[in-house]
A and B are shown apart, each in its own frame.
Chain A
Amino acid sequence: MIFWRGENKVLNYRPDEVIVEIGSEESPILRNLRRALPDVPFTLVEHPKSFLSALQASRDPFGKGKRRLLLMRHKGDFLKKCPGSDGQVCCNYFVINFASNCPMECSYCYLQDYLAQNPALKVFSNVGDLLEEAHKLLSRHRRFFFRIGTGEITDSLALDPYIGISEEIVPFFAEQPNALLELKTKSDCVEGLLRLDPKGRVVVSWSMNPPKVIDEDEHLTASFDERLVAARRCQEAGYRLGFHFDPMIEYPGWEEDYQGMIERIFALVDHQRVAWISMGVLRQTSSLKRIMRQRFPSTRLLSGEQVLCPDGKMRYFQPLRVRMYRKVLRWIREASPTVFVYLCMESKEVWKQVFGFSPSCERELGNQMAHH
């Protein structure tokens, strides 16, 4: 059982220990970690087996996993196609997993379930391999335009002050003619980005929710204002911006809160520099629901009127969520008539009810987003 109160600021994150697997000693990530965390013990191990089995045996492996940072080589592919969700409209997105798990604690986080058997907070040391793999893929398919994100199984920027990953990957993607890199975050850790020139090829995007939702369910993340100020700074530094209104939460007064949030965003950022906005309602599998009930017993998120959808995820019942999407879309359009808006993990039927059309194929949606 976890209760979070009186904190926020992901910048306060300090791992209790950094465990370094042999073979990672020459990594620039280790150099950055040592510089950023001079007071934290570093332990070199041949294999992190005993650490991982002790973690798995603890009462809250996922939560405890965040307390130690494991630096190790990644042995599989770094670049993968986003799995999307069965039967839902997909946006043809690719993901790079440079880390796994994240220092924040959102009560609804799907990683609690997805990483249940692999909960350690890991950062992969072989960034050179990552870049080489990306280079091979991008040069092999020059006529295909890739949208690639790093925020699938970790937050793209929350660890950046310690590991300096953006300094490694942004300059690479800034030179790629057929790719757009998206860094997705709930943090305000953008200092590392401000020193780099994205050359129009990097989108920094924020998952946004009204302050009430952030306070109650997005623990250890940056506040709404901190995220917004960080977005403005990135925009001024030449980055395009993205906003993900995901997960949208329905509660008494949600309309005022979400409308106010949208007005505040567009009062501070230039809507013409916004690459895209996504909308998606709260969703969870039944196993995630069980975990949420155990880890966050007082969250009110589980008391919404959610039903089981064909892809195995629970969402607010369709007429209710369609109504939510339409309202939010209207408020977005009032602030920015031209910004690209899409739905995340929704069916064609919902697309039609919200927008009056649905993309004919994933490539169509991906292309629209890339060239908007």
Chain B
Amino acid sequence: MMDQAILEYGREKVFQKQTLSRWLKLPEPDREALLELARGLRIGENHFRDFLDWLEEISLRDGASLSQILKGKSIALIWSDSRLGRNDKLKRIKEELRRLRFPRLVRLEGEIQKKIRQMGSGPQIQMTVVPGLEGGALTVQLRATSHEELQRLLAVLRQFSERTEMKEIFDLLAGREQGAELSA
């Protein structure tokens, strides 16, 4: 019955055979939990594969089943939040799963974002790092509409470059963070 529902869902969303086969090979409670999630969020194949990869990898690492992970408090809270629409729920649950899958990376990305916010650069000076932090670079983007404005922004940027937060961002990007947060 449930497998039939999975196959129907797969047909409706045009899932590849391999994806459906992975889904159908899971233990029954996991199959069911994923079906509930997929139907509730109307998940397409690309998102579904990410979910499945991350859930299996978390499961392997933590020894919890896929359904236990999905029924965990952090995901259950988002799932049951009636204020959130389908898109927001999908986005938030995916973020939460990414956090569970990559806890140290997400923590580090969060620390860098926090330091960027602390500097309060405003909309004309944007500082960003790529998700995953590959390349070890901070991208700084200036938006000026006149020569004077550009000079003012460059002066502000120079001040930012002297800030402790800025040095700490580069330390974090180069794996030189304080403490042992990155240790396994």
- Asked if A300 and B184 make an inter-chain contact with CB atoms under 8 angstroms apart, the answer reads no
- Asked if A317 and B184 make an inter-chain contact with CB atoms under 8 angstroms apart, the answer reads no
Q: Does B164 contact A (CB under 8 A)?
A: no
Given contacts A252-B184, A303-B61, A318-B135, contact A353 B105 (CB under 8 A): no
Q: Does B183 contact A (CB under 8 A)?
A: yes
Which residues 267-311 in A have Cβ within 8 Å of B in the complex? 293, 298, 300, 302-303, 305, 307-310
Residues of A contacting B10 in the complex (Cβ-Cβ under 8 angstroms): none
Residues of A contacting B183 in the complex (Cβ-Cβ under 8 angstroms): 255
Query: Closest approach, in angstroms, between the C-beta of B15 and any C-beta of chain A?
Result: 16
- Asked if A319 and B173 make an inter-chain contact with CB atoms under 8 angstroms apart, the answer reads yes
Give the complex CA separation of A321 and B175 in angstroms: 8
Give the complex CA separation of A326 and B137 in angstroms: 19
Residues of B contacting A93 in the complex (Cβ-Cβ under 8 angstroms): none
Q: Does B154 contact A (CB under 8 A)?
A: no
Given contacts A251-B184, A255-B183, A303-B58, contact A319 B137 (CB under 8 A): no
Give the nearest-CB partner of A326 in chain B: B175
Give the complex CA separation of A318 and B173 in angstroms: 8
Q: Mark B37-76, 1 if CB is under 8 A from A, else 0.
A: 0000000000000000000111011000000000000000
Q: Does A250 contact B (CB under 8 A)?
A: yes
Give the complex CA separation of A124 and B140 in angstroms: 55
Candidates A250, A307, A308, A319; contact of B175 at CB < 8 Å: A319
- Asked if B60 and A322 make an inter-chain contact with CB atoms under 8 angstroms apart, the answer reads no
Q: Does A349 contact B (CB under 8 A)?
A: yes
Q: Does B108 contact A (CB under 8 A)?
A: yes
Residues of A contacting B175 in the complex (Cβ-Cβ under 8 angstroms): 318-323, 326, 353
Q: Does B27 contact A (CB under 8 A)?
A: no
Residues of A contacting B172 in the complex (Cβ-Cβ under 8 angstroms): 319
Residues of B contacting A252 in the complex (Cβ-Cβ under 8 angstroms): 184
Q: Mark B81-110, 1 if CB is under 8 A from A, else 0.
A: 000000000000000000001111100100
- Asked if B133 and A319 make an inter-chain contact with CB atoms under 8 angstroms apart, the answer reads yes
Q: Does A350 contact B (CB under 8 A)?
A: yes
- Asked if A318 and B102 make an inter-chain contact with CB atoms under 8 angstroms apart, the answer reads no
Residues of B contacting A320 in the complex (Cβ-Cβ under 8 angstroms): 104-105, 175, 182
Give the complex CA separation of A61 and B57 in angstroms: 25
Which residues 293-347 in A have Cβ within 8 Å of B in the complex? 293, 298, 300, 302-303, 305, 307-310, 317-323, 326, 347
Which residues 247-266 in A have Cβ within 8 Å of B in the complex? 250-255
Give the nearest-CB partner of B184 in chain A: A252
- Asked if B132 and A319 make an inter-chain contact with CB atoms under 8 angstroms apart, the answer reads no
Please tell me the number of chain B residues within 8 Å of chain A, measured between CB atoms: 26
Which residues 102-126 in B have Cβ within 8 Å of A in the complex? 102-105, 108
Q: Does B134 contact A (CB under 8 A)?
A: yes
Query: Closest approach, in angstroms, between the C-beta of A341 and any C-beta of chain B?
Result: 17
Give the complex CA separation of A255 and B180 in angstroms: 12
- Asked if B57 and A302 make an inter-chain contact with CB atoms under 8 angstroms apart, the answer reads yes
- Asked if A319 and B136 make an inter-chain contact with CB atoms under 8 angstroms apart, the answer reads yes
Give the complex CA separation of A309 and B175 in angstroms: 17
- Counting chain A CB atoms within 10 Å of each CB, which of B58, B136, B173 scores highest? B136
Give the complex CA separation of A309 and B103 in angstroms: 19
- Asked if B136 and A300 make an inter-chain contact with CB atoms under 8 angstroms apart, the answer reads no
Q: Does B8 contact A (CB under 8 A)?
A: no
Candidates A251, A254, A319, A349; contact of B177 at CB < 8 Å: A319
- Asked if B61 and A300 make an inter-chain contact with CB atoms under 8 angstroms apart, the answer reads yes
Query: Closest approach, in angstroms, between the C-beta of B170 and any C-beta of chain A?
Result: 10
- Asked if A317 and B57 make an inter-chain contact with CB atoms under 8 angstroms apart, the answer reads no
Give the complex CA separation of A224 and B57 in angstroms: 28
Give the complex CA separation of A293 and B54 in angstroms: 13
Residues of A contacting B177 in the complex (Cβ-Cβ under 8 angstroms): 319
Query: Closest approach, in angstroms, between the C-beta of A304 and any C-beta of chain B?
Result: 9
Give the nearest-CB partner of A300 in chain B: B60
Give the complex CA separation of A353 and B172 in angstroms: 11
Q: Does B174 contact A (CB under 8 A)?
A: yes
Give the nearest-CB partner of B59 in chain A: A303
Give the nearest-CB partner of B22 in chain A: A293
Give the complex CA separation of A349 and B105 in angstroms: 18
Give the complex CA separation of A303 and B135 in angstroms: 22
- Asked if A317 and B132 make an inter-chain contact with CB atoms under 8 angstroms apart, the answer reads yes
Query: Closest approach, in angstroms, between the C-beta of A196 and any C-beta of chain B?
Result: 43
Which residues 127-184 in B have Cβ within 8 Å of A in the complex? 132-137, 172-177, 182-184
**25 chain-A/chain-B pairs, Cβ below 8 angstroms:** A250-B184, A254-B184, A255-B183, A298-B60, A302-B57, A302-B60, A303-B60, A305-B102, A305-B103, A307-B132, A308-B134, A309-B134, A310-B134, A317-B133, A319-B136, A319-B174, A319-B182, A320-B104, A320-B105, A320-B182, A322-B174, A323-B182, A349-B137, A350-B136, A353-B174
